[in-house]
Amino acid sequence: MSWPLFLARRLAALVAVLLVASFLVYGLLYLVPGGPMAFLLGNRSGSPEQIAAIRHEYRLDDPFLIRYFGWLGDALRGDFGQSLVYRQDVSDLMSTRLATTGLLVLYATVIIVVAGVGLGVLGALRRGTVDAVISLVNSIFLATPTFVVGVLLVIVFALGLGWFPVFGPGAGLPDRLYHLTLPAIALSLGSAAFLARITRASVGEELRREHVETARSRGFSQSHIVRRHVLRNASIPVVTVTGLTVAGLIAGSVVVENIFALDGLGSLLVRAILQRDFAVVQGVVLVLVTAFVLINLAVDVCYSLIDPRLSPGEAT
Amino acid sequence: MKARLGPLGLATVLLLGVLAVVTACAPLLAPQDPNQPDLFNALAGSSGTHPLGGDALGRDVLSRLMFGARTTLLGPLFTIVLSTAAGTVLAVTAAWAGGRVDAVISRLLDVLFAIPGIVFALVTVAVLGPGMTGVVAGLAVAYTPYVARVVRSAALRERNLPYIAAAWVQGRSAVAICSRHLLPNLRPIIVAQSVSALGFAIIDVAAISFLGLGVQPPTADWGLMVKNGLDSAVRGQPMEAVSAGVLIALVVVAVNLLGDRLGRQEGDLR
Amino acid sequence: MSNDLLVLDQVRLDIPAGRDWRTLVENVSLTIAPGEAVGLVGESGSGKSMTARSVLRLAPPGARLSGRIEFDGTPVLDLGPRDLRALRTRRIAMIFQDPRAHINPVRSIGDFLTEAMVTHLSVPAREAHARAVRLLADVGIADGERRMRQHPHELSGGLLQRVMIASVLAVEPDLVLADEPTTALDVTTQSEVMAILDDLRRERGMAMLLITHDLELAAATCDRIAVMYAGRILEVQSAETLVQTPRHPYTTGLMVSRPSIDRVAHRLPVIAGRPVAAFEAGAGCAFQPRCTQAGPECLTGRPPLRELAGAHVACVRAEES
């Protein structure tokens, strides 16, 4: 299989997932007790004119599939309709919040990769006390839900010690990063612990490989062996898990944004669900799923670059 | 199968046992009515009548923790029972039928796998409205592939073993072979996988409750207590948030340890 | 015997197993002269690979290595990390059994060949590349330029083992440790690879310790042969005399249990029982339970290696067989 064919296949799979996901998101609306009308109006009672306007806007008089494809076509052009609550275009609502969520996820990713890979390699190379301490801390972080970590961080570092602001996104890049530090740590701890565990296992396994013995027999120093022969070979599971966890951060950010009152996509989604603002729910979920799937695709491409045996140029 | 428990295993079993008792007998054990406001106890610290103090409305935190164990643990348990049942049926059907049926089921599971569980649950909550029903329904679907994928590959392996062929030759029906022979042999792997999924489910259910989209007040729930406790903490009383948060973490640690152990035993059996 | 390149004297290797120690190599004494090829023959588990690894101190982590190992007059077991690395880089090189596992799969052949030259010998990258291509030609790989860019999974086992041999030649060591260099290869390429290794070794005057389970192969390529069983050396003789007059019953057993084209046998004679490792052996001669010649005197103590008509043999009844 060649590179273009490989990419084409993966993209086709991606499109299939997105099609099904969008169909689910759009179609579930019709399962609501009382039908789409009840959902659209939510708890509000509408005047006949309002109802007629909604019926027109959401094309409720058309057959289902036509409405779905109409919505999908608009969505592809970046038009997700209008929010019933905000009276604004959903795409505008999302674009202003995308930066906050994106910055938060990026910040957390950096922490995860640096801390996770660093601690994992350290644990694998220094068996004994250091390793045991890292493993114990990892187990605790792994089991603690993001929102609990977040709340505890707020209590200790914001309310108790006063080192960080409690809520809000901040203004200007340095101040924003400062405001995002606690949220990013909350978001990253569990994933960093998981990555550290995977890295430790992978590096430990690679250190026992025969080709490492060859390198030893040729008189290379431990640091040379780790740099040239262990890290890259051990990086496949590490890249996989990094990709999975970063994709997972997209879901985690929903929770963290709510703790720290950050105005991102996640808090927009939760508010939209509570207010039954369904155009916003559809738009945000579609964006989140798309990001999730795209990251997974990026991970697959990374494999092939790291390990020549997995390259699509190989006939397998 | 008898493995030595060790101190860690003993602590795990003890913790889960105590939780099971508390969950079952909360009305008998709780020192106070969990829903009884008491203005004198609002945001109070530890005292004789209220060992863990009171929440913002003065309700007894310890009693609320005891009652909260029910929603916090039964919701995820129900989720996993549903997804394990669905996942096992799908997996065994796919492995047994093979061919096109297998392809369709596998692709379906792949697609489900491509959507993060919590986002899926948020969609069902959006449709069904906030509450435990939407959360359990959404997560049960989202967790189905987690169980099904592993069970399918195990079932495929098992299916090709001679004893299945022997039962087939004896003229047993497919359903009989699956239920009498295949499932009992798959049980260890199903149990191990479900228990490790349970750890994730507890986290997800609590997180959705924390967002205010799961269990609705005034019902006691640990996730909800962390949410309300955050407000109390801002007003100077972190006890509620910390105790509920630490309990969630402890339970997940215990369940994960159990899952690891079952997984290892399952690995040893192979 | 100060002109020996390598001296092993009473070498013993134990590895930790739970709270106990397991002996893998026991009381091994052996010498190799410069340019000499010595075969170390034994079944799997006899400790022959571990003996070779001991020379480079490549024993498994936590292992206890004792006795005396002297290379060119330097005591190997007393070397500091820097001197040990120097010994490994320039003086002694090892060829491993399974080149597919022993060459890093994610790096190119070129990387593998030039790595040591560039890192240890400070050869400029371009010159190292040219030298690697020449080395590939020496081991019979003609299209070196193309091979240099390829990865291990694109080469056959035989080609990979030639690459491994080329990498050893690159540093021109005094001693080559060859651990079953042809066992993992197809039968058709085995003799080819062995011939290349043997020729190049002789050309460059390198000594070799050949680890193999194949007595005939050892006899064909080596000057002297040591036979190992359960972590001990049972017999040492020059290759010619060993084949004609094996002194130890175990050696005799190894010779007759080999299939041969010249001889028709309906059922090959076998040595009854299974080979044991050093830590499994009882108090007497380790081979005694499987030995057809065994008598009551074989049960008292491990027989020491003693001289008998130019050979060294560890059997109390060697004269009788």
pLDDT of residue B144: 93
Mean per-residue pLDDT for B68-73? 85
B134 touches chain A (CB under 8 A): no
pLDDT of residue C1: 46
Q: What is the CATH number of the domain that holds C17?
A: 3.40.50.300
Subunits close to C (at least 3 CB pairs below 8 A) = A
Would you say C303 and C310 are in contact if contact means Cβ atoms under 8 Å apart? no
pLDDT of residue A198: 87
| Residue at C320 is within a domain | no
Would you say B69 and B248 are in contact if contact means Cβ atoms under 8 Å apart? no
Query: Is the per-residue pLDDT at B270 higher than 50?
Result: no
Determine the distance in angstroms separating the CA of C83 from the nearest CA of chain A, rounded to an integer. 10
Instruction: Quote ipTM for the complex.
Output: 0.84
Chain A residues lying within 8 Å of B114, measured CB to CB? 17, 21, 289, 292-293, 296
pLDDT confidence of B5, banded at 50, 70, 90? low
Q: From CA A254, how far away is CA A262, in angstroms rounded?
A: 10
pLDDT digits (tens, 9 = 90+) for B201-240: 998 998 998 888 888 888 888 888 888 888 888 787 788 8
Q: From CA A242, how far away is CA A220, in angstroms rounded?
A: 30
| Sheet hosting strand C20-32, strand order edge to edge | C20-32, C6-17, C64-71, C74-75
Q: Is the Cβ pair C102, A220 closer than 8 Å? A: no
Q: From CA A286, how far away is CA A291, in angstroms rounded?
A: 9
Question: What are the angstrom distances between the C-alpha of A103 and each of A100, A163, A194, A245?
Answer: 5, 21, 22, 16
Touching pair B, A by Cβ (3+ pairs < 8 Å): yes
Determine the distance in angstroms separating the CA of C199 from the nearest CA of chain A, rounded to an integer. 22
Q: From CA B171, how far away is CA C103, in angstroms rounded?
A: 53
Task: Note which residues in 101-120 of chain C have CB less than 8 A from chain A.
Answer: 101-107, 115-116, 119-120
How many domains would you assign to chain C? Answer: 1
Q: Is the Cβ pair A270, B238 closer than 8 Å? A: no
Among residues C178, C146, C175, C154, the alpha carbon closest in space to that of C164 is found at: C178
Provide the 10 A C-beta neighbour count for residue B266: 17
Q: One digit per residue, pLDDT tens: chain A, 316 residues?
A: 577 887 888 788 888 888 888 888 888 776 666 666 666 665 566 677 777 777 776 667 777 788 888 888 888 888 887 777 787 888 888 888 888 898 899 999 999 999 999 988 888 888 778 888 888 888 888 888 888 888 888 888 887 787 877 776 667 777 788 888 899 999 999 889 988 888 888 888 888 888 999 998 988 988 899 888 898 888 877 887 888 788 778 878 888 998 888 888 988 988 888 887 878 888 888 888 888 888 878 877 777 777 766 666 554 3
* Dihedrals phi, psi of C211, to nearest 5 degrees: -90, 125
Instruction: Name the residue among A147, A159, A281 with its Cβ closest to that of B126.
Output: A281
Mean per-residue pLDDT for C66-71? 91
DSSP bridge partners of C64: C14
**End-to-end C-alpha distance for chain C, whole angstroms:** 31
Q: Which domain holds residue C12?
A: 6-106+151-313
pLDDT of residue A111: 94
Instruction: Name the residue among C86, C96, C107 with its Cβ closest to that of A219.
Output: C86
Determine the distance in angstroms separating the CA of A66 from the nearest CA of chain B, rounded to an integer. 21
Would you say C163 and C149 are in contact if contact means Cβ atoms under 8 Å apart? no
Q: Is the Cβ pair A288, B116 closer than 8 Å? A: yes
pLDDT digits (tens, 9 = 90+) for B15-65: 888 888 888 877 777 777 777 777 777 677 777 676 777 777 768 778 788
> Does the N-terminal peptide bond of residue B218 adopt cis geometry, omega within 30 degrees of 0?
yes
Query: Is the per-residue pLDDT at C171 higher than 70?
Result: yes
Give the residue ranges of DSSP H helices in chain A.
3-28, 35-41, 48-57, 64-76, 90-125, 129-143, 146-153, 173-207, 210-217, 222-225, 235-259, 265-274, 278-306
Q: From CA A313, how far away is CA A4, in angstroms rounded?
A: 10
Determine the distance in angstroms separating the CA of C244 from the nearest CA of chain A, rounded to an integer. 36
Query: Is the per-residue pLDDT at C263 higher than 70?
Result: no
B106 touches chain A (CB under 8 A): no
Q: Are strands C311-313 and C306-308 parallel, antiparallel or unpaired?
A: antiparallel
| Residue at C139 is within a domain | no
Would you say B196 and B256 are in contact if contact means Cβ atoms under 8 Å apart? yes
pLDDT of residue C75: 92
Q: From CA C304, how far away is CA C316, in angstroms rounded?
A: 8
Task: Note which residues in 209-228 of chain B have CB less than 8 A from chain A.
Answer: 210-213, 223, 226
Question: What are the angstrom distances between the C-alpha of C83 and each of B167, C63, C72, C79, C91?
Answer: 67, 20, 13, 6, 11
pLDDT of residue B76: 92
pLDDT of residue A31: 67
SS3 C23: strand
Find which of A148, A156, A246, A269 to mutate to test the B interface (most B CBs within 10 Å of its CB): A148
Q: From CA A266, how far away is CA A100, in angstroms rounded?
A: 10
Mean per-residue pLDDT for C271-281? 80
SS3 C228: strand
Level-2 CATH architecture, domain A90-310: Orthogonal Bundle (1.10)
Q: Is the Cβ pair A151, B241 closer than 8 Å? A: yes
More confident residue, B150 or A81: B150
Mean per-residue pLDDT for C170-187? 88
* Domains of chain B in sequence order: 52-269 (1.10.3720.10)
pLDDT of residue C211: 93
Chain A residues lying within 8 Å of B249, measured CB to CB? 140, 143-145, 148
Would you say B202 and B76 are in contact if contact means Cβ atoms under 8 Å apart? yes
Question: What are the angstrom distances between the C-alpha of C36 and each of A152, A255, C209, C213?
Answer: 71, 72, 8, 19
Among residues B252, B193, B182, B261, the alpha carbon closest in space to that of B222 is found at: B252
| Residue at C65 is within a domain | yes
Chain A residues lying within 8 Å of B118, measured CB to CB? 251, 254-255
Instruction: Name the residue among A159, A248, A285 with its Cβ closest to that of B123.
Output: A285
Tell me, yes or no, if the pTM score tops 0.80.
Answer: no
Q: Is the Cβ pair A229, C85 closer than 8 Å? A: no
Q: Which two tokens stand for residue C103?
A: 């060459």
Query: Is the per-residue pLDDT at C308 higher than 90?
Result: no
Q: Which two tokens stand for residue A14?
A: 């991606």
What is the CA A52 to chain-centroid distance, rounded? 39
| Sheet hosting strand C37-41, strand order edge to edge | C92-95, C175-179, C207-212, C37-41, C224-229, C232-238, C311-313, C306-308
Residues of A with CB under 8 A from a CB of C: 209-211, 213-221, 224, 228-229, 232-233, 306-309, 314
pLDDT digits (tens, 9 = 90+) for C122-166: 889 999 999 999 999 988 888 889 999 999 989 988 899 999 999
Q: From CA C54, how far away is CA C15, in angstroms rounded?
A: 12
Domain boundaries, chain A: 90-310
DSSP letter for each residue of C197-216: HHHHHHHHT-EEEEEES-HH
Determine if residue C310 is left, alpha or beta; phi over 0 gives left, psi from -120 to 50 gives alpha, anything else beta.
left
C121 DSSP 8-state letter: S
Query: Is the per-residue pLDDT at C223 higher than 90?
Result: yes
Among residues A303, A126, A314, A295, the alpha carbon closest in space to that of A232 is found at: A303
pLDDT of residue A316: 39
Would you say A140 and B249 are in contact if contact means Cβ atoms under 8 Å apart? yes
DSSP letter for each residue of A81-150: -B-TTT-SBHHHHHHHHHHHHHHHHHHHHHHHHHHHHHHHHHHHHSTTHHHHHHHHHHHHHHHS-HHHHH
Q: How many residue pairs from chains A and B have C-beta atoms closer than 8 A? A: 127
Quick one: closest CA in B to A31, which residue? B127
Classify residue A47 by burial, with Cβ atoms within 10 Å: 0-12, 13-18, 19+. exposed
pLDDT of residue A312: 60
| Residue at C89 is within a domain | yes
| Residue at C234 is within a domain | yes
Query: Is the per-residue pLDDT at C279 higher than 80?
Result: yes
pLDDT of residue B2: 45
